[in-house]
Amino acid sequence: MSLNTRLDALKERHASLETKIFDEDHRPQPDAEALTRLKVEKLRLKEEMERLRTLVH
């Protein structure tokens, strides 16, 4: 898998997590644990995307 392909896949996953976080946060009783897990995963993906961007450019 090329770096650009991997980066695109990470961007899609990041966007998906953003939607899940928004949905969970706007429920009548949001699950704090689930929100924390989603946010940690989103941050991990963001860090990996930044790392890959430095390799691509």
- pLDDT tens track for 16-33: 999 999 999 999 999 999
State which residues form the domain around 44: 3-56
56 has a pLDDT exceeding 80: no
CA distance 34 to 49: 22
**Length, in residues, of the chain:** 57
For position 39, what pLDDT does the model report? 98
For position 1, what pLDDT does the model report? 72
Q: Which of 6, 39, 41 is nearest to 22 (CA)?
A: 39
**Tens of pLDDT along 38-49?**
999 999 999 999
How many domains is the chain partitioned into structurally? 1
Which amino acid appears at position 23 of this protein?
D
